[in-house]
Structure formats: C-alpha cells, structure tokens
Amino acid sequence: MEQAVWRHLGGDLSSARRGAAAFLDTIADEDEGAGGRQSWFARWKKIGDDHYVLGDLNLKEGALDQAAEAWLCALTAFEIARRLIDEAGPQSEDVSARIDHGIQRFRSSQLQKLEQVNIPCSEQADLPAYYLRAGSSDLPSSAVICISMEQETAATLLGRLLPVMIGRSVSALVVSHCHVSHRARGQSESLLSYCLDYLAVRPDVDAARVGVYGDGLSAALATEFAASDHRLAAAVCDGGLWHWARIVPSVGWLTRTSDTVVDQDVVSARRTQTMRRVKCPVLVVAGGRGIVDVTEALKLQADCMAARIDLDLATPRMIRSPDREIDNFIVSDGCILEWLEQKLARRSTPRSLLRRKQDR
C-alpha cells in the first residue's frame, strides 16, 4: 500500500489519479482506526506538498504546463487528505488553505483558463465565482454551473473538480452554496438564473448548452433551478427527493400517526411531479455523502421511465471503514463529468460564423 501512495510523485496527472482512486478503493483493507488514518493523512499531505514544490520548480524553468500538472496532482492529494480526517478540525482548515494556495498557483500560470469573476445581481451584491474556460471565442463550449456542498466553499469544490475538468470540452462556473442558498422562496433560483445569464453572454460559451451540478444539499437547489429555468440543457440534482423526504414526515404528523399508509399511486405521482417541470435530462446521484436515498432514487427512476422522462441514476463508490464511509470522489466525479459532456455535446455554429452571416 505504501508504494501505491508514493508512486504518484513525478507521474502525469492521469496516472496519479488512477493510483489515487486505487488507494481509495483499498483503504478499508488497510484501515487501522484513527491512528492509521492519521498516518495516511500525513503521507497524502506530504505528497501534496511535494507536488507543489515540483510545480514551483517547473515554473521557475518556464515549463508552465508541467507546473500546472504538478499542482493539479497536489490538489488531488490534498482532497484525499481532507477526507481522511475530521472535517471540522484544525487539520482540515490547514488542508483547505493549501487547496486555496494551489488554486492561486494554477490561476497565476493559466490566466486564460481560470478567472475569479463577479456575477451581477440586482437583488444583492455581486456573486463571487470561479470560471474555468474550456473553449474559445470562435468555438464556444458547453458549460456547467457547479454549486458546492453545504459548509464548503467554492474553492473547495473547484480544487476537487479542476484536475478532472482540465482537458474536457466543458467550461465551469463554480459558486458557493452559502452564496446562492436562501430561505426566501424563489431567491436561490433567481441567483442561479443570474449565473446562467452571465454564461449566456460570454463569447466562449454556447448558451444553448449550459447545465447545472449541485453537490450535496445543493442538489436540491439544482432541481428547483432546473424546474424554474428551462434554458438549462442538463441537470445533476436530487430529482425533488429531498423535498419529498420532508413531506412524508409532515403527513404523518398532520394525521397524528407515524405509520400512515399512503396510496402508492399517489406516492409515484408526487415523486414525478417535480420531474415533469424539469425539461432537460437529469442525473440523480444517490447514496454516499449526498442527500438522496438509493431506494427512493430507484423508485423515482422507475416512475420516470414509465412516464418517459429522461432521468439517469448514479451511485457513488463508497469505501466502508469501522467508523466512517469515504466516497471514491475520483471515480464519481469522472462519471458525472462524462454524463454532462455527453448530454451537453452537440454541434453548434461558432459565433464568429454567426456574426459573418448576420453581416451579409
């Protein structure tokens, strides 16, 4: 196992991530409790630090691509380290700070690819976000609005997604859950629509091929957004199941019974009610650190198939240890991005050609 960890240093990003995924798949076999995880945390943190040093050396030599690749390897290592420890502890804060530094390193050497932007919003101050460009002004790309998990920053999600998104044909606008989550009805959807407005006028984005991806509790925000704004072309969300999960206990409370028998036809109709409002293909991520129960997701998928609604289901690969579960985010993120690429991929006319046609 130790050799599997240390062989990442010096390899390319693809091989480093394959090795990291293999480590996550076998960590349960090697888990020795808190002490064992602390040891692995220290090793993955050192791997990240060593990759940073390697990247900085490459930068001094003018090898920008090699420097960027080393920093992306470091971000993957730090994300693994972050999952091996208590998310609320000081060690997690230390790793999060390293992730922030890695993003700034990458941004400083790839100014044309990664930007810090502000989304104009009429109801409040501008919304801060990161924008990762995949296309060019002559050949606009598809794009995805990515919303971080609750209690995680946009930088944390970006640090996890950067290594898997580099080289793909999808651009990304990454925002924080805390910046777009509001109790006022319709406020979150309005803020996310401003994000879509921003992407729609960028010359490097095809406005007809924009999707949304909500991580964790943000999957519920993504569902409501997709149901309210039909400009979206794909959505990775909860399919309305979080809302349904809150309704069922309410029914029991109102009827003063905890074992209320609900007609299954009514249940199926309620499960698909939200999905009928969503006009784009949907991927529901069930299980793992998400908010969607696998059993309910399977029922929703069956209902949607019967109603001819385009819904796919993904279940993250989870590694169980004595006192926690760790998801193989490398495999899961790859599957989600591949699904988004497939659903958002279609031939479009470059905007430069559209301008020429309009000029004639």
Among the listed ranges 26-40, 86-100, 197-211, 290-304, which one has the minimum average pLDDT value? 26-40
Q: Which domain holds residue 104?
A: 2-109
Last-in-domain residue among 49, 75, 109: 109
Q: Give me the pLDDT at residue 349, please.
A: 42
Query: Is the same domain home to 169 and 93?
Result: no
Query: Is the same domain home to 67 and 130?
Result: no
Q: Residue 253 is part of a domain; what is its CATH number?
A: 3.40.50.1820
Query: Is the same domain home to 275 and 343?
Result: yes
Across all residues in the chain, what is the average pLDDT? 84
Residue 5: is its pLDDT beyond 60? no
Beta strands 170-175 and 141-147 are parallel
Residue 290: is its pLDDT beyond 70? yes
Domain total of the chain: 2
Quick one: DSSP state of residue 118? Answer: E
Query: Is the same domain home to 205 and 191?
Result: yes
Q: Give me the pLDDT at residue 32, please.
A: 56
Query: Is the same domain home to 217 and 292?
Result: yes
Q: Regarding predicted confidence, which is higher, 19 or 350? A: 19
Last-in-domain residue among 109, 136, 162: 109
Q: Closest by alpha carbon to 208, among 147, 143, 146?
A: 143
Query: Is the same domain home to 53 and 200?
Result: no
Contacts of 299 (CB under 8 A, 6+ apart): 267, 268, 271
Q: Give me the pLDDT at residue 263, please.
A: 60
Q: Regarding predicted confidence, which is higher, 257 or 247? A: 247
Query: Is the same domain home to 123 and 222?
Result: yes
Q: Residue 82 is part of a domain; what is its CATH number?
A: 1.20.1440
* pTM for the full predicted model: 0.87
Q: Closest by alpha carbon to 358, among 349, 142, 141?
A: 349
Query: Is the same domain home to 290 and 234?
Result: yes
Query: Is the same domain home to 29 and 118?
Result: no
What is the average per-residue pLDDT within 125-152? 89
Is the residue at 200 inside a domain?
A: yes
Residue 247: is its pLDDT beyond 70? no
Take residue 84 and report the two structure tokens written for it: 């091996």
Q: Both ends of the chain: CA-CA distance in Å?
A: 65
Q: Regarding predicted confidence, which is higher, 175 or 35? A: 175
Query: Is the same domain home to 101 and 133?
Result: no
Whole-number percent of the chain with pLDDT over 70 = 81
pLDDT band, very low/low/confident/very high, at 28 (cuts 50, 70, 90): low
Contacts of 124 (CB under 8 A, 6+ apart): 191
Task: Kindly report the number of other CB atoms within 10 A of residue 225's CB atom.
Answer: 27
Dist CA 76 CA 82 (whole Å) = 10
Last-in-domain residue among 109, 136, 165: 109
Is the residue at 356 inside a domain?
A: no
Is the residue at 323 inside a domain?
A: yes
